[in-house]
Amino acid sequence: MTGQLIVGLDVSSRARAEEIVAALGDAVDFYKIGYQCFYGADGYALGKALIAAGKKVFFDLKLLDIDNTVEKGVAAFAETGAAMLTVHAYPKTMRAAAKAAAGSGLCVLGVTVLTSMDDADVKEAGYERDAAGLVALRAQQARDAGIGGIVSSPHEAEMVRTIIGPKMAIVTPGIRPAGSAAGDQKRIMGPAEALAAGATHLVVARPIIEAADPAAAARAILAEMNSGTRFA
C-alpha cells in the first residue's frame, strides 16, 4: 500500500524538499516532482538522487511538443530510472511517448483533465464535451496509444477503469483525507474511496508536506487507504 501513495514535493527549495523526504523516512517511498520543484529546486538532479537512494520518482511535467521532441525527451527521462512521467493526453503525443518508453521501466501517463477544472472550465477551454466526457475520450486514446496509464480525477476513476481495462495505471490527484481543505481542487475524493473506484496510485501534497508531522500525516492517509475496499 505504501507504494500506492505518491507525495508531491511541491516546494521551491531543494533543501526543503530534502527535509520533507528525511522527515517522511520509511513512511513513503514514492515522490512526485512537478513544475515548482523541477524548476525551482533543481528537481531533475533531486529526482536522480532520490532514485539512486532507492526511492521511486514521478516526474509530472506534462510534456507536449512535436513528436520527435516528445520522443527524445521521454527517452531521456527513461534513462534516469524514473517510475512515471506525464504527457498531455493527445494521441500523437502519447504514441511518441510510448515509442520512447518501450522496453524501459518508465510508465508514461496521459493527463486527461486537471482536477482543478470542472465542466465550466472545460467549456471555457473550447471543448464541447463535459469534463467526464473529455476524460473518457482521452482514456480511450491513451489505451489505444499503448502508454502505461492516465491521470484523472478520482471521480472518473471507475468510468476510466471500464475503458482502459485492468492493467493500466490510474493516478489520481485531488485526494483529500478526512479534515483537509479542498484548496484549489474541484473534483476531490477521500483516499479509500479513490482506491475503491479503481485508482492505483494517489497523489497527495499539501495535506502531507504542510503538516507539522509529515510522517504522521502520511501514515494517517495510509490508514485511510487501508480502511476501504481496494480495486484489484
Q: What are the residue boundaries of the structural domains of the chain, listed by start?
A: 2-226
For strands 84-88 and 107-111, give the pairing: parallel
pLDDT, tens only, 94-114? 999 999 999 999 999 999 988
Binding residue per annotation — 143?
Answer: no
Binding residue per annotation — 32?
Answer: yes
The whole-number pLDDT of residue 231 equals: 45
Q: Based on the residue annotation, tell me whether 121 is a catalytic residue of this protein.
A: no
Q: Is the dihedral of CA 16, 18, 22, 25 positive or negative?
A: positive
Binding residue per annotation — 109?
Answer: no
pLDDT, tens only, 138-163? 999 999 999 999 998 888 899 999 99
* 28 grid coordinates: 513513503
Q: Based on the residue annotation, tell me whether 60 is a catalytic residue of this protein.
A: yes
Binding residue per annotation — 65?
Answer: yes
pLDDT, tens only, 34-93? 999 999 999 999 999 999 999 999 999 999 999 999 999 999 999 999 999 999 999 999
Domain 2-226: top CATH class: alpha beta
Choose, from 42, 65, 118, 130, the residue flagged as catalytic. Answer: 65
pLDDT, tens only, 159-197? 999 999 999 999 998 787 755 554 544 556 789 889 998
Q: Based on the residue annotation, tell me whether 42 is a catalytic residue of this protein.
A: no
